Structure 1
Amino acid sequence: MVSASDTTRGAVGTTQVVPSRRLAYTMLDGSTDLDSVADAVSAHVVDVEGAAPSVVVDDVTPVLVDRGLDATGSFVAALGSLSDVAEVVVGCSYRLEAAADVRSLFDPTDVSDPVDHPVTGALDRLRRDDPTTFGYVRRHWAEARDGIERCTRNYPQSKQVHAALSDPATTPRTLGATLSGLVRLDVLDTWGETVGSTRYDLTAYDPDRMWAVGAALATSSEERDADDESATVGDD
């Protein structure tokens, strides 16, 4: 265990190792640079006997808030480059003030634990009330996100969002169904002053909520894959 907090004073850390050598506890000052934290972790894992250990960061969000995106990204990359570990799991509490940095640092498809975000309730309601639309969102949310973020129009139709994609797996129709689901999840809105085909208000697009949708779906994919297959029969 490596603890970096204001409870420790001074640049030099202290390390205690229990007799069995199965637990080493290092305390570092909260102002310690992140390279020193990564070095402390590295020093422990090389001495572990038997199966390679896992490295778990309890919550990286305070680091994001205090040290910034670049420093935190380098820290996470340093942990990921350790050769003597089985896996690196980075915990992250989702705070509004750090949402943009979390989105930049982590791909939502890499999230492995349930997300504590209001969008999970909205997804549950969509799945219950309209499983077909939920199925489209579950299958095509990433492509819809890419289309939204690449589209240069403020109020496009689904075919215009679709045209912004390269080598899409969707059609304008299936992408439109996905976009309609994202509207119901408050990721974006529709433009009310229109007749005929729906136009989407991309000025209302919320990329942080879009990230949360992807992360929430990533953590529920195994139990919902069967539902999605039946819900989107007839995609073309």
Structure 2
Amino acid sequence: MVSASDTTRGSTATTQVVPGRRLAYTMLDASTELDRVVDAVSTYVADSEGEVPSIVVDDIVPVVTDRGVAAARSFVTGLRGLSGVDDVVVGCSYRPEVAADVRSLFDPTGDVGSVDHPVAGALDRLHRDDPTTFGYVRRHWAEAREGLERCTRNYPQSRQVHAALSDPETTPRTLGATLSGLVRLGVLDTWGETVGSTRYDLTAYDRDRMWVVGAVLAASADETDPDGGPGTVGDD
């Protein structure tokens, strides 16, 4: 274990090894350069005696808040670049005050392996109550996110959101079904003062919640139940 915190002062690393060498604990000052933390981890990897270890970062958020997104990204890249490592798992406490930074650091389509968030409960209920709409959201959430974030209108119809896509897999109809599911998940609202086709209120679009919806769906893609619902169950 490598700990960089205020419990240690000064530039010298302190290491304690428990009997049998099954656990070594290195303590570093909180102000220690991140390269030194990577070096400390590298020492353990080199001494792993033929085993292929995994690296677990308990929570990357303190690094993001104290050092910034660029430093956090460089730190994770440094850990992933260590030879002889099986996997690097990065924990993250997803809070509103750091949500934008986390979104810029991790892509939900490929970087997220597990999510514990109340949005999972909302997805479970959508799957239970309206499996057809859930299916559209599960399949097309990434394209819907792209359209919502590229559309320049405040109150577009689904066809106008669809027009903002460069190479869509969806049609305006299937995208509209996806957007209706995202409304039910609290990602955006509909505009109440409308007749005819539904207009969506993009001024209420919640990028943070959209990221979590995508992360939950991406993480559960290989852990679905027999009916195709998300494997993670939460409570909204």
Post-superposition Cα deviations, 1:119-163, rounded to whole Å, max 9, x if no partner, equal 222111111111110111011100100111111111111111111
- Tell me whether 1:49 sits opposite 2:45 in the alignment: no
- Tell me whether 1:95 sits opposite 2:95 in the alignment: yes
What's the CA shift for 1:227? 2.8
- Tell me whether 1:114 sits opposite 2:115 in the alignment: yes
Identity of aligned residues (%): 76
Cα distance in 2, alignment partners of residues 224 and 190 from structure 1: 30
Cα distance in 1, alignment partners of residues 107 and 225 from structure 2: 20
Residue of structure 1 equivalent to 2:233: none
Residue of structure 2 equivalent to 1:62: 62
Q: Which sits farther off after the overlay, 214-223 or 127-136?
A: 214-223
Contact 1:157 1:199 in 2 (8 A): yes
In the TM superposition, 1:185-224 aligns within 5 A as: 185-224=185-224
- Which residue identity is paired with 1:101? D
Structure-1-length-normalised TM-score: 0.91
What's the CA shift for 1:23? 2.8
- Tell me whether 1:166 sits opposite 2:160 in the alignment: no
| CA RMSD of superposed structures (Å) | 1.6
What's the CA shift for 1:22? 3.9
Cα distance in 1, alignment partners of residues 160 and 82 from structure 2: 45
- Helix, strand or coil for the counterpart of 1:224? coil
Cα distance in 2, alignment partners of residues 223 and 44 from structure 1: 33
What's the CA shift for 1:226? 4.9
- Helix, strand or coil for the counterpart of 1:221? coil
- Tell me whether 1:182 sits opposite 2:172 in the alignment: no
- Which residue identity is paired with 2:5? S
What's the CA shift for 1:19? 5.4
The number of aligned residues is: 228
- Which residue identity is paired with 1:103? R
Structure-2-length-normalised TM-score: 0.91
Cα distance in 2, alignment partners of residues 175 and 122 from structure 1: 20
Q: State the 4+ residue runs in structure 1 displaced beyond 3 angstroms.
A: 17-22
Residue of structure 2 equivalent to 1:77: 77
- Which residue identity is paired with 2:162? H
Cα distance in 2, alignment partners of residues 10 and 223 from structure 1: 46
What's the CA shift for 1:187? 0.4
Cα distance in 1, alignment partners of residues 207 and 165 from structure 2: 17
- Helix, strand or coil for the counterpart of 1:162? helix
Q: Which sits farther off after the overlay, 64-73 or 2-11?
A: 64-73
**Gapped runs of 5+ residues in structure 1?**
230-236
Q: Which sits farther off after the overlay, 191-200 or 142-151?
A: 191-200
What's the CA shift for 1:115? 2.2
What's the CA shift for 1:28? 0.3
